[in-house]
């Protein structure tokens, strides 16, 4: 069989595509990255996309194609014989799923409830000093979290839980464990202004164990209630960014995109995109966030903020 694999976001390693590649190589098939010129010759084309907004109209999909990933279909799964392949490429999941049900998130629909799917030895190649884990909400499985942390500690690996840990579940024992293992900056989420109090409390716990600066994903652009306005969304984002600034934490502004039909609408469209650009430029760059006020300094004086002053003025957000 002559197989082609196509990762529509080549800037990211696509685990599903790599598992498919490994599976067909193991069967003795010829497996190559997709080249449009050879389309007629392929027996099968596997295509994966993680974002719904990645362009797909240019693809000439026919019955030989099998497309998956959140960007095509959140519910599509790999067959068990492919899913269970261990890649040992130093990045992957030890745990999938989440017991919460945040409106904007595809995880519960795609992965179901929190459950373990493996451990470090399924992911680590035995040589690398770093490992990246995409675990969806490992703190919902405390036993599994401690087991994985022990393995990381034993192998002296620097871990990056890059999908974020659930700040609400951090307690003294968890913070102490997190402080002991080598780690990239921990990531958490600050999805709504009503989390401010619990974030202050949990940051204090982290600081008690020497974790003094973490990064918080700040979701913006999600119309998570029917009467929420664009102005309220911007004010809510600024409130959270200023709160993180006070706590001396870093932020990453995540611009929300709707992935499937049941999700809330996004405020971010052709007419409003320019409102969110300077917010992300300011909030996600620690030097800007920690040294400037958004309206007063960044939009008024910074070269990456000034071009957008007029967009804020049109909305009446600045005068
Ligand atoms: S807690 Fe995180 S992973 Fe779970 S549903 Fe909410 S956003 Fe998704």
What's the CATH number where 215 sits?
Answer: 3.20.20.70
pLDDT value at residue 51: 87
Residue 169 and residue 240 in one domain = yes
Nearest CA to ligand 1 atom 1: 100
User: Best mutation site among 95, 105, 141, 164 for ligand 1, i.e. most ligand atoms within 8 A of its Cβ?
Assistant: 105
Question: Which parts of 79-195 fold into alpha helices (H)?
Answer: 80-83, 107-111, 142-154, 172-180
Strands (E), 17-148: 30-33, 44-48, 65-68, 91-92, 95-96, 115-116, 130-133
75 band by pLDDT with thresholds 50, 70 and 90: confident
In-domain check, residue 74:
no
**164 and 223 in one domain?**
yes
The confidence band for 99, taking pLDDT boundaries of 50, 70 and 90, is very high
- Name the residue among 173, 135, 126, 115 with its Cα closest to residue 154: 126
Q: Is the CB of 100 under 6 A from ligand 1?
A: yes
The answer to whether residue 13 sits within a structural domain is yes
Ordered strands of the 130-133 beta sheet? 91-92, 130-133, 158-161
In contact, 299 and 281? CB cutoff 8 Å: no
Residue whose CB lies within 8 A of the most ligand 1 atoms, among 95, 166, 256, for a mutation test: 166
pLDDT of 52: 84
Please state, in angstroms and as integers, the Cα–Cα distance from residue 182 to each residue in 186, 208, 310, following that order.
11, 17, 45
Residue 80 lies in a domain: no
User: In which band, very low, low, confident or very high, does the pLDDT at 199 lie, cut at 50, 70 and 90?
Assistant: very high
Model confidence at 232, pLDDT cuts 50, 70, 90, reads very high
94 lies in the same domain as 48: no
Quote the number of domains for the chain. 2
List the domain range (segments joined by +) for residue 59. Answer: 2-68
Mean pLDDT, residues 7-28 taken together:
95
Over residues 70-82, the mean pLDDT reads 90
Q: What is the bridge-based pairing of β-strands 95-96 and 115-116?
A: antiparallel
Listed range (93-97, 104-108, 148-152, 209-213) with the worst mean pLDDT: 104-108
In the predicted structure, residue 260 carries a pLDDT above the cut 80: no
Question: Residue 10's CB: how many other CB atoms inside 10 A?
Answer: 10
**73 vs 77: CA distance, rounded Å:** 9
Query: Is residue 165 located within the same domain as residue 263?
Result: yes
Compute the distance between CA of residue 239 and CA of residue 227 in angstroms, rounded to an integer: 19
Bridge partners, 274 (sequence order): none
Q: Which residue's C-alpha comes closest to atom 6 of ligand 1?
A: 102
Residues 54, 75: Cα–Cα separation, whole Å: 18
Q: What is the mean pLDDT of residues 35-61?
A: 93
| 43 & 91 share domain | no
**Is 307 inside a domain boundary?**
yes
- Whether residue 75 lies inside any domain: the answer is no
Same domain membership, residue 216 and residue 171: yes
Domain-ending residue, one of 41, 68, 95:
68
Looking up tokens 């990211």, which residue turns up?
Answer: 12
Cα separation, 114 vs 304, in Å, equals 41
Confidence of residue 18 (pLDDT cuts 50, 70, 90): very high
Query: 78-100 burial, b for 16+ CB within 10 Å, e for fewer?
Result: beeebeebebebbbbbbbbbbee
Backbone angles phi, psi at 60, to 5 degrees: -95, 80
Shared domain check, 100 and 63:
no
Q: Does residue 235 share a domain with residue 157?
A: yes
96 shares a domain with 64? no
State mean pLDDT over 244-270: 92
* Three-state secondary structure call for residue 3: strand
**What sign for the dihedral angle of Cα 195, 107, 159, 121?**
positive
pLDDT tens-place string over residues 147-165: 999 999 999 999 999 999 9
Query: Residue 109: CB within 6 Å of ligand 1?
Result: no
Question: What's the confidence (pLDDT) of residue 49?
Answer: 95
Torsion sign, CA atoms 111, 112, 113, 115 = negative
| Average of per-residue pLDDT values in the chain | 95
Q: Are residues 218 and 281 in the same domain?
A: yes
Q: Verify whether ligand 1 is closer than 6 Å to residue 136 (CB atom).
A: yes
Question: Over the stretch 101-135, which tens digit does the pLDDT of each residue have?
Answer: 999 999 998 899 999 999 999 999 999 999 999 99
* Number of residues in the chain: 319
Question: Do residue 143 and residue 116 come from a single domain?
Answer: yes
For residue 36, being part of any structural domain is answered with yes
Report the atom number in ligand 1 closest to the C-alpha of 105: 8
* Cα–Cα distance, 285 to 318 (Å, whole number): 22
Residues 293 and 153 in one domain: yes
Residue 319 falls inside a structural domain: no
Asked whether residue 227 is assigned to any structural domain, the reply reads: yes
Output the CA 153–ligand 1 centroid distance in Å: 26
What digits encode the pLDDT tens for the residues 282-291? Answer: 999 999 999 9
Instruction: Please give the pLDDT value at position 317.
Output: 85
Q: Quick one: what percent of the chain has pLDDT higher than 70?
A: 100
């Amino acid at each position: 069989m002559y197989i082609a694999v196509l990762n529509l976001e080549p800037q990211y390693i696509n685990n599903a595509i790599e598992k498919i590649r490994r599976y067909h190589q193991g069967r003795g098939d010829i497996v190559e990255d997709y080249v449009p010129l050879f389309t007629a010759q392929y027996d099968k084309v596997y295509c994966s996309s993680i974002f719904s907004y990645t362009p797909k109209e240019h693809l000439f999909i026919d019955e030989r194609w099998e497309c998956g990933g959140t960007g095509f279909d959140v519910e599509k799964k790999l067959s068990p014989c492919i899913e269970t392949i261990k890649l040992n490429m130093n990045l992957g999941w030890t745990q999938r799923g989440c017991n919460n049900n945040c409106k904007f998130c595809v995880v519960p629909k795609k992965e179901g409830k929190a459950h373990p799917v493996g451990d470090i030895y399924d992911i680590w190649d035995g040589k690398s000093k770093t490992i990246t884990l995409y675990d969806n909400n490992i703190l919902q499985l405390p036993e599994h979290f401690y087991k994985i942390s022990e393995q990381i500690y034993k192998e002296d690996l620097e871990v990056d839980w890059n999908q974020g840990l659930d700040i609400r579940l951090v307690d003294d024992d968890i913070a102490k464990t997190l402080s002991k293992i080598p780690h990239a900056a921990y990531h958490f989420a600050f999805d709504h202004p009503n989390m401010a109090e619990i974030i202050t409390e949990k940051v204090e716990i982290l600081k008690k164990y020497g974790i003094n600066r973490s990064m918080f994903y700040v979701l913006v652009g999600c119309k998570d209630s029917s009467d929420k306005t664009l102005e309220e969304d911007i004010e809510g984002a600024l409130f959270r960014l200023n709160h993180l600034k006070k706590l001396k934490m870093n932020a990453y502004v995540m611009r929300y995109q709707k992935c499937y039909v049941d999700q809330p609408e996004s405020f971010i469209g052709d007419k409003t995109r320019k409102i969110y650009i300077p917010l992300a430029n300011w909030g996600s760059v620690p030097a800007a966030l920690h040294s400037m006020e958004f309206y007063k300094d960044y939009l008024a004086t910074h070269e990456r903020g000034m071009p957008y002053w007029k967009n804020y003025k049109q909305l009446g957000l600045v005068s």
